[in-house]
Amino acid sequence: MKRVSEWMRKPMKAVMVMLVAGFVGACTDNTDTPPAKQTVTDVVLANNDFTILRDAIQYAGLADALRVGTLTVFAPNDAAFRASGFANAAAVRALPVATVKSVLQYHVLGSRIAAADIPVARNTAVATLEGPNLFVSKLTASSGVSVNNARVTAADVKADNGVIHVIDRVMRPPALNLLQVAQGNPDFTYLVAAATRAATSNPAVLSALTSTTNAFTVFAPTNQAFIAAGFPTIASINAAPAATLAAVVLNHVIADRAFSPTLATGNANAASGGKLAVTVGTSGVTVAGKGNTQPANVVSADILATNGVVHVVDRVLLP
């Protein structure tokens, strides 16, 4: 009671000073600690749709790198990893660390680009932290955004050091040109033989497949497709007139980087001078040359090369 009475005997001015000081101190205590920053890494760590990506970032040693700078990240969610052949984090960890790091850095830009900032255009090239470009497309002002063969399923997820766009595929940085892609695939030995033979008549065949300045799309027939078209062996290809093969091979090439999200039903101009009829439907994509009675099915899409993209087809496209 003595202490209370002593306090009550203090001059009112002193009491007011003490109250104000206490109030200011309380306010200061509430604002001294700012809210924790949510960097790109923190957003990924906190989102349970990114469990495979989160593990991949940690495995590749990129967690700290994605906390600094100003970034745009095209982030594959778990469904995207599974659709790209990675069932779980263990499947990612089966790859060398350097490979995973390269793939992840191919998904990252060194600047902030919101979806609204992406121009209405096909294949706008943007540099990645890995080096090779990504190709971003927005076909109309109101349409969705795609990047290479991936579609953006959720745009503009904010982070303190950038922005995240969720995508439905994992993208691989290209290392080989179109010819090298074909040469490295045992199911394209007939196509390589046809292109090599055709080039003796028309050098444009190999110059398109190896170009360092222009981009092309190749609808690449499998070996079985050539066999069904009347070429039972590679020897039969080498015995065919080179000019005939040149017309056939160039009928599979269009002068465009045509990823599957940007394909549309209609005619495409082949490098042979003819037209290819492309049909995009709910069951897939088909393509036919003027000489085809049945269209070819695209059985595997969007194999990226340094100078274009390959779609595997199950029929030869006849001019």
Residues for the chain: how many in total? Answer: 319
Q: Between 141 and 121, whose confidence is greater?
A: 121
pLDDT at 7 over 50: no
The 10s digit of each residue's pLDDT in 181-196 is 999 999 999 999 999 9
CA 35 to chain centre: 33
Question: What pLDDT shows up at residue 33?
Answer: 55
Q: How far apart are CA 237 and CA 206, in angstroms?
A: 16
Q: Between 25 and 98, whose confidence is greater?
A: 98
pLDDT at 6 over 50: no
pLDDT at 203 over 50: yes
pLDDT at 314 over 80: yes
pLDDT band at 225 (very low <50, low <70, confident <90, very high): very high
Question: What pLDDT shows up at residue 19?
Answer: 38
Angle at 190 between CA 185 and CA 191, to 5 degrees: 75
- For the chain, the average pLDDT equals 91
Q: How far apart are CA 254 and CA 277, in angstroms?
A: 12
The radius of gyration computed from the CA coordinates of the chain, to the nearest angstrom, equals 29
Q: Give the mean model confidence (pLDDT) for residues 218-240.
A: 97
Give long-range contacts, CB 8 A cutoff, 24+ apart: 138-147.
Answer: 139/262, 145/115, 145/118, 146/259, 146/261, 146/262, 147/74, 147/171
**Domains of the chain, each with CATH number or no CATH:** 40-167 (2.30.180.10), 178-313 (2.30.180.10)
Query: Which amino acid does the sequence have at 306?
Result: T
The 10s digit of each residue's pLDDT in 239-293 is 999 999 999 999 999 999 999 999 999 999 999 999 999 999 999 999 999 999 9
pLDDT at 24 over 80: no
Q: Give the mean model confidence (pLDDT) for residues 65-69.
A: 97
Q: Give the mean model confidence (pLDDT) for residues 23-50.
A: 73
Q: Give the mean model confidence (pLDDT) for residues 2-7.
A: 42
pTM for the whole structure:
0.86
Question: What pLDDT shows up at residue 32?
Answer: 57
pLDDT band at 143 (very low <50, low <70, confident <90, very high): confident
Q: Give the mean model confidence (pLDDT) for residues 21-34.
A: 48
Give the Cβ contact number of residue 97 at 10 Å: 11
Give long-range contacts, CB 8 A cutoff, 24+ apart: 25-34.
Answer: none
Task: Measure CA of the first residue to CA of the last residue in the chain; give whole Å.
Answer: 107
Question: What pLDDT shows up at residue 31?
Answer: 52
pLDDT band at 37 (very low <50, low <70, confident <90, very high): confident
% of the chain with per-residue pLDDT over 70: 89
Question: What pLDDT shows up at residue 269?
Answer: 97
Give the Cβ contact number of residue 260 at 10 Å: 19
